[in-house]
Amino acid sequence: MIDLEKAKRYLKQYISNYDSNEPRIKLKIVHTYHVAENARKIAIKLNLSKEEQNLAELIGLLHDIGRFEQVRIYGSFADETTVDHADKGVEVLFEDGEIRNFIENDFYDKMIAKAIKNHNKFEMEKGLTEQEILHCKIIRDSDKLDIYRAFLAERLEDVVHMETTDVSKEILSPEIFEEFKKEKLLIFSECKTNMDFLVAIIAFIYELNFKETLEIIRQNDYIKKLVKKIDAKDAYTKEKLDEIADYAISYMERKIEEEEK
């Protein structure tokens, strides 16, 4: 049995070791609880059992635990120049032994480890079991869903960890716009500007796994709100962002319709 209240109590205790007033730590604390909430919502909409719902929420609570040590050691969220935060989370939980403070039984250990390890990867690893795939998909959707929320709730520069203080002045690369129209995830390393990076975040919609996740995005009108918040000043960029919103919304509506047939 998963004791979520125990897990939440210990997470609060674990987080207390870090400075909650530090903006990056504060951002990740808020993100963690929202992702856990998203995971439960999706699991409920998928009609999963109570235990599976609890497991999904627990994975949500633990998915970014590696971020806290990443910030403490490196002072950065940049996985490409520090450490992969998902791999660090698996290390903290299963090599350092923190997992037993969150759940006494080791029955779900492999499932939890696989979901956390795969939550931020460009593609999920091969050879996963059906249940592992399910929980990897739930946490990946839950994480991306909250990134959209954070875009609207926080300063764009803080959410995507940019050095610039005014993203609206950034310019979109034509190559990134063309790639976006192919309805697939964009590779961050191919982004030339901060605006490209923001568009790559919007492109997360192409990798969402569940109709239920898309419906939450539609209900909250996230795509249009995100483009409006970016408020691009460059004429070309503004025009293309409006087109990007149209492409993303059209894709979302089509996928939801396909799932309902």
pLDDT recorded at residue 163: 62
23-45 and 4-15 helices, crossing angle to 10°: 170
Tens-digit pLDDT profile for residues 165-190 = 688 999 999 999 999 999 999 998 89
Q: How far apart are CA 14 and CA 166, in angstroms?
A: 34
pLDDT recorded at residue 220: 95
pLDDT recorded at residue 167: 85
Q: How confident is the model at residue 130 (pLDDT cuts 50, 70, 90)?
A: very high
pLDDT recorded at residue 256: 95
Which of 4-8, 131-135, 256-260 has the least mean pLDDT?
256-260
DSSP label at residue 98:
T
Which of 130-134, 137-141, 153-157, 240-244 has the least mean pLDDT?
153-157
Tens-digit pLDDT profile for residues 138-167 = 999 999 999 999 988 887 766 665 666 688
pLDDT recorded at residue 83: 95
pLDDT recorded at residue 155: 76
Q: Compute the Cα dihedral for 28, 245, 164, 122 and give only its sign.
A: positive
Tens-digit pLDDT profile for residues 28-57 = 999 999 999 999 999 999 999 999 999 999
Give 42-48's long-range contacts (Cβ < 8 A, gap of 24+): 42/138, 42/141, 42/142, 42/210, 42/212, 42/213, 43/138, 45/210, 45/212, 46/138, 46/210, 46/212
Q: What is the mean pLDDT of residues 93-103?
A: 97
Q: What is the mean pLDDT of residues 217-223?
A: 96
In the chain the domains, ranked by start, together with CATH numbers, are 1-154 (1.10.3210.10), 165-261 (no CATH)
Q: How far apart are CA 22 and CA 62, in angstroms?
A: 20
Identify which of 43, 61, 60 has the alpha carbon closest to the alpha carbon of residue 52: 43
pLDDT recorded at residue 207: 95
Cα 156 to the center of its chain, rounded Å: 15
